[in-house]
Amino acid sequence: MAAIERKKEHRVEGIDQETFKPTGKGVGKDSGPQHHRQPKRTISGDIVRQASLDAFKKLNPVVMIKNPVMFIVEIGTFITLLLCINPDLFVASEAGRGYNIAVFLILLFTLLFANFAEALAEGRGRAQADTLRKTKSDTTAKLVQKDGTTKQVSGAQLKKGDIVRVEAGELIPTDGEIIEGLASIDESAITGESAPVIKEAGGDFSSVTGGTRVTSDYIVIRVQTDPGESFLDRMISLVEGAQRQKTPNEIALTTLLAVLTLIFLIVILTMVPMANYLGIQLDLATLIALLVCLIPTTIGGLLSAIGIAGMDRVTQFNVLAMSGKAVEAAGDIDTLILDKTGTITYGNRMASEFVPVQGVTVQEMTRAALQASVRDETPEGRSVVELAGKQGESWMEQEYAGAENVEFTAETRMSGLNLGSGTQIRKGAVDAIKRHIVSRSGRIPADLDDIANRIAKAGGTPLAVAIDDRIYGVIYLKDTVKPGLKEKFAEMRSMGIKTIMCTGDNPLTAATIALEAGVDDFIAEAKPEDKITAIKKEQQAGKLVAMTGDGTNDAPALAQADVGLAMNSGTMAAKEAANMIDLDSDPTKLLSVVSIGKQLLITRGALTTFSISNDIAKYFAIIPAMFIVAMPQLQALNIMNLASPQSAILSALIFNAIIIPLLIPIAMKGVKYRAMSAERLLGRNVLIYGVGGVIVPFIGIKLIDLILSGLHLV
Mean per-residue pLDDT over the chain, rounded? 79
State how far the Cα of 183 lies from the Cα of 168, in Å rounded to an integer: 8
**144 SS3 class:** strand
* Phi, psi torsion values for 513, nearest 5 degrees: -65, -40
* Phi, psi torsion values for 414, nearest 5 degrees: -140, 160
Q: Which of 100-114, 254-268, 398-412 has the lowest mean pLDDT?
A: 398-412
Query: What DSSP element (H or E) covers 521?
Result: strand 521-523
State how far the Cα of 222 lies from the Cα of 202, in Å rounded to an integer: 12
pTM of the model: 0.62
More confident of the two residues 361 and 638: 361
Buried b / exposed e over 232-243, threshold 16 CB at 10 Å, is: bbbbbebbbbee
CB atoms within 10 A of CB 19: 15
CB atoms within 10 A of CB 377: 15
Closest CA to 291 of 75, 86, 91, 118: 75
Q: Which pLDDT value is given to residue 92?
A: 57
Is 586 an active-site residue? Answer: no
Closest CA to 254 of 125, 60, 70: 70
State how far the Cα of 516 lies from the Cα of 309, in Å rounded to an integer: 37
**In which band, very low, low, confident or very high, does the pLDDT at 324 lie, cut at 50, 70 and 90?**
low
**In which band, very low, low, confident or very high, does the pLDDT at 88 lie, cut at 50, 70 and 90?**
confident
Closest CA to 612 of 220, 247, 169, 297: 297
Angle among Cα 667, 673, 679 to the nearest 5 degrees reads 115
- 448-484 pLDDT tens trace: 999 998 888 877 889 999 999 999 999 998 877 777 8
- Specify the amino acid at residue 464: A
Are residues 485 and 499 in contact, defined by beta-carbon separation less than 8 angstroms?
no
- Specify the amino acid at residue 383: S
Question: For 523, how many CA atoms within 13 A lie in the half-sphere containing its CB?
Answer: 18
Q: Which pLDDT value is given to residue 32?
A: 36
Would you list which residues are annotated within the binding site for Mg(2+)?
550, 554
Q: Which residues contact 451 (CB under 8 A, 6 or more apart)?
A: 355, 357, 462, 473, 474
Q: Which pLDDT value is given to residue 477?
A: 87
Q: CB burial class (10 A; 0-12, 13-18, 19+) of residue 343?
A: buried
State how far the Cα of 526 lies from the Cα of 431, in Å rounded to an integer: 13
- Residue 375, pLDDT above cutoff 50: yes
- Specify the amino acid at residue 584: D
**In which band, very low, low, confident or very high, does the pLDDT at 178 lie, cut at 50, 70 and 90?**
confident
Between the CA of residue 156 and those of 65, 225, 476, what are the distances in Å? 39, 11, 47
- Residue 327, pLDDT above cutoff 60: yes
Q: Which pLDDT value is given to residue 691?
A: 87
Are residues 193 and 33 in contact, defined by beta-carbon separation less than 8 angstroms?
no
Instruction: Give residue 241's region: left, alpha or beta (phi > 0; psi -120 to 50).
Output: left
**229 SS3 class:** coil
Average pLDDT over residues 361-365: 93
More confident of the two residues 637 and 56: 56
Query: What DSSP element (H or E) covers 580?
Result: strand 580-582
The distance in angstroms from the start CA to the end CA of the chain is: 95
DSSP string spanning 106-129? HHHHHHHHHHHHHHHHHHHHHHHH
**13 SS3 class:** coil
Are residues 568 and 581 in contact, defined by beta-carbon separation less than 8 angstroms?
yes
Are residues 120 and 43 in contact, defined by beta-carbon separation less than 8 angstroms?
yes
Query: What DSSP element (H or E) covers 313?
Result: helix 297-316
State how far the Cα of 628 lies from the Cα of 250, in Å rounded to an integer: 40
CB atoms within 10 A of CB 245: 10
**In which band, very low, low, confident or very high, does the pLDDT at 79 lie, cut at 50, 70 and 90?**
very high
Q: Which pLDDT value is given to residue 352?
A: 87
Domains of the chain, start order: 47-124+242-311+596-711 (no CATH), 159-226 (2.70.150.10), 333-344+484-583 (3.40.50.1000), 348-480 (3.40.1110.10)
- Residue 181, pLDDT above cutoff 70: yes
Q: Which residues contact 673 (CB under 8 A, 6 or more apart)?
A: 595, 598, 599, 602
State how far the Cα of 260 lies from the Cα of 264, in Å rounded to an integer: 6
What's the chain's Rg over C-alpha atoms?
A: 33
CB atoms within 10 A of CB 47: 17
Residue 151's beta-bridge partner residues?
A: 143
More confident of the two residues 310 and 42: 310
State how far the Cα of 372 lies from the Cα of 406, in Å rounded to an integer: 10
Buried b / exposed e over 631-648, threshold 16 CB at 10 Å, is: eeeeeebbebebbebbbb
* Phi, psi torsion values for 426, nearest 5 degrees: -135, 145
- 124-166 pLDDT tens trace: 666 666 655 655 556 778 888 888 888 888 877 788 888 999 9
State how far the Cα of 107 lies from the Cα of 42, in Å rounded to an integer: 29
Catalytic site residue from 186, 339, 562, 586: 339
Q: Which long-range contacts (CB under 8 A, 24 or more apart) does 455-462 make?
A: 455/355, 455/509, 456/505, 456/506, 456/508, 456/509, 456/512, 457/508, 457/512, 458/512, 459/509, 459/512, 459/513, 459/516, 460/352, 460/509, 461/349, 461/505, 461/509, 462/430, 462/506, 462/509
Q: Is the dihedral of CA 46, 52, 56, 60 positive or negative?
A: positive
Are residues 77 and 146 in contact, defined by beta-carbon separation less than 8 angstroms?
no
Between the CA of residue 327 and those of 115, 129, 284, 384, what are the distances in Å? 23, 19, 43, 42
- 647-703 pLDDT tens trace: 888 888 999 899 999 988 888 888 877 766 667 777 787 888 888 888 898 899 889
- 543-594 pLDDT tens trace: 889 888 777 777 888 888 888 888 877 777 777 788 888 877 776 677 778 8
Would you list which residues are annotated within the binding site?
376, 380, 408-415, 427, 550, 554
